[in-house]
Chains A and B, each alone.
Chain A
Amino acid sequence: MILQTKQLTKQFGGLVAVKNVDFNIEKRKVNAIIGPNGAGKSTFFNLITGVHRPSSGQILYKGEDITHLPANKVAELGLARTFQTTNLFEMATVFDNVVVGHRLRTRSNFFDAIFRTKRLKEEEERCKQKALEVLEFTELSHIGHQLVANISQEEKKRVAFALALATEPEIVFLDEPTAGVNPDETESLAYLIKKMVNQGITVCLIEHKMRMIMDLADHIMVLNYGEKIAEGTPSEINKNEEVIRAYLGGSGASA
C-alpha cells in the first residue's frame, strides 16, 4: 500500500461529487477506478493530485499526509498524472514537449538562463537525456522530431505518458488513457501500462473499456454517485451484483 484515502469527500455546493471514499492503492500494481459517467472518478483523481482541495477526509502517501498540498508539490513527491485530453503543445516537437517534464527535478532559475551558467547547461542536458530515455521507453524515439500536431491520437497518448514518466514518479494516475483510440492501439497502450508496472511504477487508472480493465487491473474500485460500491479483484467485481445494477440499472438479477 503506497497511497491511502480515508473518508475522502468533495462537495461542490450542494453536490457531493465524492463521498467518504476509503481506497488503498497497492504498490507496483495496476489499480483501476471504474464507474458510470459522472460517478466522481475524475474528481477523485483531482483530489489526490491536489487539483481540488478535499472538503473532508485525508490522503496519506507513504504514511505522510498530503491532503492539503498544492498540485505542484504533490508532483514533486512522485505522483504524476495524465489528463483525459492530452493538453500537449501541438506546434512543438514531441521531444520539446517532453523535455519540460523533468523540470521539477532541476533548480536553475532565470539568472542561470541569462548568464548560461554551468548549472543550467548540466540540468538542460539532464532534462534532454531524461526525455530521450522516456521516449525510448514509450517507443516514440522515431517520431521525437515531429510536431505533435502531425502525430496520431495513440501517439499523443504515449507522449502524455512520456511526460508523466519524465517527472520520475512512483505512482502514475492515468485518466482514461485509451479514450478515443482503436482496439489494436488500446492493446498496445495496455502493454505499455504493464511495462510501466514491471519497471516498478505503481499505476492507478480510470477506464471505461471493461475488457481491457479486467485483463489489466490487479485491484478495482467501483464508484457510483460519488460513493464506493465495490472493491476487489477483477473476478470479484465481475460477480458483484451491485456493480451490475449500477451499470445496467434495473433490479440486478444476475446477467
Chain B
Amino acid sequence: MSSIFTKKNTVIALIVLAFVIPFVLQNQYYLHVLTLACIWSIAVYGLNLLAGFTGYLSLAHAGFFAIGAYSLGLLTVKAELSFWLAFLVAPIITMIIGTFVGIIALRTKEHFFAIYTLCVGYIIYLIIDKWDSLTGGVRGLIGIPSPANIGPISFDTPLSQYYFVLVVTLLCILMVYRIVHSLTGRTFIAIRNSEELALSLGISTAKNKLLSFVLSTFFAGVAGALYGSFIRFIGPEISYTTIMFDFLTYLIVGGIGTLSGPIVGTFLIVLLSQNLQFLQDYRMLIFGPLLTLLIIFSPRGIVGFVLTKYHQHQRKTSAVLKDARAKEG
C-alpha cells in the first residue's frame, strides 16, 4: 500500500495536478491567484536557501525582488530590449547588486545581519520611490510587455501565462532541490549548523555564504521579472517591508529549511487569505495568533511538523520490528 505513496509518485501527482487544474477550476480569477502564488514561491525558495539552509536571515529579499522586476521593466520599456533578453539580464543585474550587498552584509551575522539587510531593503525602496527620472517614482512603471512569442507559442492568454510561470517555478524548485541535495547544499547546512565547526572542517565559510546570498538574490530576481511581465505594472511598494514580511511568513508557515516548505506555505496563505477576503484586515487577527502558535510549537513550520512525526513513526516501527525479530530469534 505504502508503495503507491512514494516520494516520487507524490511529486509526479502534484505536477500533473498543477498542469490540469486550470481545466478543473475554469475560473480566471483563481488562475490569476495561482500564477501569483507560483511567482511568490520562487522568491520564497530564494529566501529559504539563505535563511533556511545557510542560517542567514536576509530582510532585503523584497528589495531584490523589486530589482528583478524593475530591471525587466526598465530594460523592456525604456531600453526597448527584446523580452527574452531582458528576462535573462534582469536576474543577472539582481545578482550583481546582490554580490556587492552580500560582500558587505556578510561581515555581520545573526540579528545584526537581519537588521543590516532590513536597512538595505528599505534603501532599495527609497531609491525606487525617489528616483523619479529612472523608475517613475510613485507612479510606477507601466506597459511592461508579456513574454514574446516563441515561434508558434504565444503567452497572451492567462492560461498560457500560468503555464509559463509554472514551468519556470518547477525549474527553480528543481535547481534548489539539486543544490540542497549536493555537496554545496551540505556545505550550506554545515554553515547554518555551526560556522566554527564548518571552518574547522576546512570549509571556506565566507565564499559559501556569499554564494548562498547571491543565489538567493537570483531567485528573487527571477520572481521579480516574472511578476513584472505578469502584472505588467510595477510600483515601489513591491520592495516595501510588507512584501518582505509576507515572504517571511510564507516561509515560516511552510517550514524554514525544508524543501517543500516555501511552496506549501505560499499556496496555503495566498489561497487562505483570498478566501477570507470578506474579513478584510481582520484576517490578521487570525493569522497573527496562528503564526505565533506555529513558531512556538513547530519552529520548522507545517512541513517540519510532518517530517518530525514521520521520523517518530519510523523509529517506532523499526523498534517494533526489532522486538519482533528478537522474539523470533
Say yes or no: is A103 at the interface (Cβ < 8 Å to chain B): yes
What 1/0 flags go to A83-101 for Cβ under 8 Å of B?
1000111011000100111
| B108 beta carbon closer than 8 Å to chain A | no
Which chain A residues lie closer than 8 Å to B187 at the CB level? 100, 103
Inter-chain contacts of A124 with B (CB < 8 A): 182-183
Q: A113-B179, A114-B178 are in contact. Are A99 and B186 (CB under 8 A)?
A: yes
Is the Cβ of A110 less than 8 Å from the Cβ of B186?
no
The interface on chain B, measured as residues whose beta carbon lies within 8 A of the other chain's beta carbons, has a size of 28
User: For residues 179 through 214 of chain B, which have their beta carbon under 8 Å from a beta carbon of chain A?
Assistant: 179, 182-187, 189-190, 193-194, 196-205, 211
Task: Give bound CA distance, A165 to B285, whole Å.
Answer: 52
Write the nearest CB–CB distance from A248 to chain B, whole angstroms. 34
Please, what's the 1-or-0 string for A214-246, where 1 marks a CB less than 8 Å from any CB in chain B?
Answer: 000000000000000000000000000000000
Residue A49, interface by CB 8 Å: yes
B175 at the interface (CB under 8 A from A): yes
- Shortest distance from the beta carbon of B183 to any chain A beta carbon, whole Å: 6
- Kindly provide the distance from the CB of B246 to the nearest chain A CB, expressed in whole angstroms: 26
- Give the A-B contact count at a CB cut-off of 8 A: 93
**Residues of A within 8 A of B (CB-CB), count:** 39
The answer to whether A75 and B201 touch (CB under 8 A), given A100-B187, A103-B183, is yes
Closest residue to B212 on the A side, CB-wise?
A110
Flag if A110 contacts B211 (CB, 8 Å).
yes
Residues of A within 8 A of B182 (CB): 108, 110, 112-113, 116, 120, 124
Closest chain A CB from B9 CB (angstroms): 21
Over the window 2-37 of chain A, the binary record of Cβ atoms lying under 8 Å from chain B Cβ atoms (1 yes, 0 no) is 000000000000000000000000000000000000
Residue B313 lies at the interface, judged by CB distance under 8 Å to chain A: no
- Interface: A123 (CB within 8 A): yes
26 A-B pairs, CB-CB below 8 angstroms?
A: A50-B199, A51-B200, A72-B199, A72-B202, A72-B203, A72-B204, A72-B205, A75-B199, A76-B202, A83-B196, A87-B196, A89-B189, A100-B190, A100-B201, A103-B201, A108-B183, A110-B182, A112-B183, A113-B183, A114-B175, A114-B178, A120-B182, A123-B183, A124-B183, A147-B311, A163-B197
Binding site for B on A (CB under 8 A): 49-51, 70-73, 75-76, 80-81, 83, 87-89, 91-92, 96, 99-101, 103-104, 106, 108-110, 112-114, 116, 120, 123-124, 127, 147, 150, 163, 167
Residues of B within 8 A of A (CB): 175, 178-179, 182-187, 189-190, 193-194, 196-205, 211, 215, 300, 311, 315
